[in-house]
């Protein structure tokens, strides 16, 4: 088992329409704080991001928000839920900072920002730039269509079965954190 000091969580800056999304975000935040796993996230106060950051912070956990200069405005930043807020130059520096601070990656339900972030970190894993685990918290089947598309890529010869297996998923918060703590699989 790997020890997880911090995990980056990508998630919606909106709440979504299903209460299960916010329920699971809260559960994840509480469980991270309980296990002593710090949160690295996009630094915003909106939507699922804000719910998650508060759940970790309010339960005594570490929260590091990473925001580009241009987004450091009161409408976005939530100073009540950070142990640390890092202001960086741009989106590229933000991603590098989030990725290097974290021992694993989780995506909760979200929109194109979330999908882009988790897909990029998955791509980097496939290319061998890192060997950190990646998991989708599949609240009420939110990620089913994404998972089906990855299976489609395998079936049609665009993704190796080994790279497909790197991407873990569960709708159970405890299981997600256990999956991230597993020894990473080797890719051929």
Contact residues toward ligand AMP (CB under 6 A) are 10-14, 42-44, 46, 49, 71, 76, 110-114, 117
CB 43, min distance to ligand AMP, A = 5
Closest CB to ligand AMP: residue number: 113
CB 61, min distance to ligand AMP, A = 18
Q: Which is nearer to ligand AMP, 42 or 61 (CB)?
A: 42
Q: Which is nearer to ligand AMP, 147 or 187 (CB)?
A: 147
CB 108, min distance to ligand AMP, A = 9
Q: DSSP assignment, residue 77?
A: B
Matching residue, tokens 């991230």: 180
SS3 64: strand
Matching residue, tokens 């987004």: 71
Q: Under a CB-based contact definition with an 8 Å cutoff, are residues 34 and 59 in contact?
A: yes
Q: DSSP assignment, residue 183?
A: P
CB atoms within 10 A of CB 42: 25
Q: Which is nearer to ligand AMP, 93 or 187 (CB)?
A: 93
Q: Which is nearer to ligand AMP, 115 or 154 (CB)?
A: 115
- Find, among 180, 123, 119, the residue nearest to 147 by Cα: 119
CB 161, min distance to ligand AMP, A = 28
- Computed on alpha carbons and rounded to an integer, the radius of gyration of the chain in Å comes to 16
């Amino acid at each position: 088992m790997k020890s997880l000091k911090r995990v980056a969580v990508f998630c919606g800056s909106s709440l979504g329409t299903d209460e299960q999304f916010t329920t699971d975000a809260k559960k994840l935040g509480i469980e991270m704080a309980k296990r002593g796993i710090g949160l690295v996230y996009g630094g915003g106060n909106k939507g699922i991001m804000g719910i998650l950051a508060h759940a970790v912070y309010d339960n005594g956990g570490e929260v590091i928000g990473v925001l580009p200069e241009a987004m450091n405005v009161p409408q976005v930043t939530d100073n009540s839920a950070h142990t640390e807020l890092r202001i960086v130059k741009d989106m590229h520096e933000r991603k590098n900072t989030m990725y290097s601070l974290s021992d694993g990656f989780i995506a909760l339900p979200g929109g194109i920002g979330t999908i882009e972030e988790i897909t990029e970190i998955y791509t980097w894993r496939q290319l061998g730039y890192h060997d950190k685990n990646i998991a989708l918290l599949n609240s009420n089947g939110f990620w089913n269509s994404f998972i089906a598309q990855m299976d489609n890529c395998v079936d049609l010869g665009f993704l190796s079965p080994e790279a497909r297996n790197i991407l873990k998923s569960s709708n159970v918060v405890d299981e997600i954190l256990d999956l991230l703590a597993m020894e990473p699989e080797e890719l051929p």
